[in-house]
Amino acid sequence: MPTIRIPTPIRPYVNGEKVVNVKGQNAAEAVESLLIQFPALRTHLVNGRGELRPFVNFFLGENNIRDLQGLDTPLREGDQLILIPSIAGG
């Protein structure tokens, strides 16, 4: 089962979990599994068309899935996606 590692600023939306178990053969299915489990997170990660917001990044290992096959990036048993939202400031 793949997992998604959740950064501290997002944890209030996932009941404080650091890592969430998800189902899916690819990144899209894994993200949808996360959003089914935690619906309040949906507006923070995807737009009205169901596409990842530009400031939301998922990494598989050291690679941003946008640089792989995007949401079609295949996942294997035990893979961990890391959610990294861009944070502005200065």
Domain membership of residue 90 (yes or no) is no
Domain membership of residue 59 (yes or no) is yes
Residue 86: its pLDDT value, please? 79
Phi, psi (degrees; rounded to nearest 5) at 27 = -60, -40
pLDDT in tens, 20-46: 999 999 999 999 999 999 999 999 999
What residues make up the domain containing 12?
3-85
The CATH number assigned to the domain holding 53 equals 3.10.20.30
CA 78/CA 11 separation, integer angstroms: 21
**Overall number of domains in the chain:** 1
CA 49/CA 29 separation, integer angstroms: 15
- For the entire predicted model, the pTM comes to 0.91
Domain membership of residue 19 (yes or no) is yes
The H-or-E segment that residue 19 falls in is strand 19-21
22, burial (CB in 10 Å: exposed 0-12, middle 13-18, buried 19+): buried
What residues in the chain have per-residue pLDDT under 50? none
